[in-house]
Amino acid sequence: MGEQGPEDGNKTEKTAKKAPAKKTAPAKKAAAAKKAPAKKAAAEKAPAEKALAPKKAPAKIPKKAPAKTTAKAPARTAGKPAAVRKARPPKKVTVAPEDGTVAVRRASAEKTVAPKPPRNESRTALVRRARRINRELAEVYPYAHPELDFENPFQLLVATVLSAQTTDLRVNQTTPALFDRYPTPEDLAAANPEEVEEILRPTGFFRAKTKSVMGLSKALVAEFGGQVPGRLQDLVKLPGVGRKTAFVVLGNAFGHPGITVDTHFQRLVRRWQWTEETDPDKIEAAVGALFPRSDWTMLSHHVIFHGRRICHARKPACGACPIAPLCPAYGEGETDPEKARKLLKYEKGGFPGQRLKPPQAYLDAGGRPAPPLGAG
């Protein structure tokens, strides 16, 4: 019994040690019971927060914003190098600024020097071919002249202004009555506009033309003492007078060389590939660079005569053309000699048929135009 005392004592210690463990369970239950209202309160708050969550969703956009920004950020960062890569190659390949300057320099050079020879034709070959064409036309049209009737510079100036948008024949039928009634600038400047309009009605655009011829007459009286000036810079200041009209007057009334770039001239020099320009001033400069100044006035007459009689706009008479071997546009019109001759137009001054060589003389054995002369 005495030995069991300690064991009993040990048992009591073990039970004492275990007792608190058993007591802790109720304590936990009590603590759990105490925490239960807190959990319930948290549970009750949870739905309230969930209910408020949708309302605060816009405020929580920053959570989505990073995703958007992160999605866009790579696109922008990737886009910047891509844009730079696309922008850089054109600069390296085309070199836009330098090409622009070169184009401007070429355009300005064409005004004073010459156009680029077409179809890889050398500059020397182009000059030779152009001058050969002019010599051939001079043999065909030895009498080439301005086809407007005039007796003095004033009449030529007025007739040239009236020739816009009509034929020289119509102008020549109208001007006699005008000059009989108003022979001087002073007379025309003081005329009744309605009477002048009635005279000029057959030429078309008679109101505008009346305003121009009366305006230039008043300017001649006020600024030049009733005399037509012999300088280009003075003529172009007159109402209705441009460079073409001025060169007609300077070349045919004063003997100053000039190139008359009318519709016929523009059409033919482009067909002959003397120039590819379309602006009259640039055409004048480009063609003028191919010929000496002394040839300019008669060159204009030769080209215009040829354009009115043979090298028409719609149906050029290629088969009857005296410069077929020299023309790169041969074949645009009728090439049959007999059919081509029916297309020839006879105007004032006649047509030098007896001086025109047979079309066969310009063709080879196969009926094709001979190779252009000087094209090498």
Residues acting as catalytic residues: 244, 262
**Rama region for 329: left / alpha / beta (φ>0; ψ in -120 to 50; rest):** alpha
Residues 6+ apart with CB under 8 A from 140: 306, 322, 352, 355, 356
**What DSSP designation does 369 have?**
B
Asked whether the beta carbons of 138 and 323 are under 8 A apart, the reply is no
- Which residue, among 123, 127, 166, 122, has the nearest Cα to 148 in the 3D structure? 166
User: Per the structure block, which two tokens stand in for 358?
Assistant: 């047979």
| DSSP code per residue over 220-270 | HHHHHTT---SSHHHHTTSTT--HHHHHHHHHHHS--------HHHHHHHH
Asked whether the beta carbons of 261 and 280 are under 8 A apart, the reply is yes
**What does the alpha-carbon distance between residue 305 and residue 198 come to, in Å, rounded to a whole number?**
31
**What does the alpha-carbon distance between residue 288 and residue 280 come to, in Å, rounded to a whole number?**
12
Helix (H) or strand (E) holding 343: none
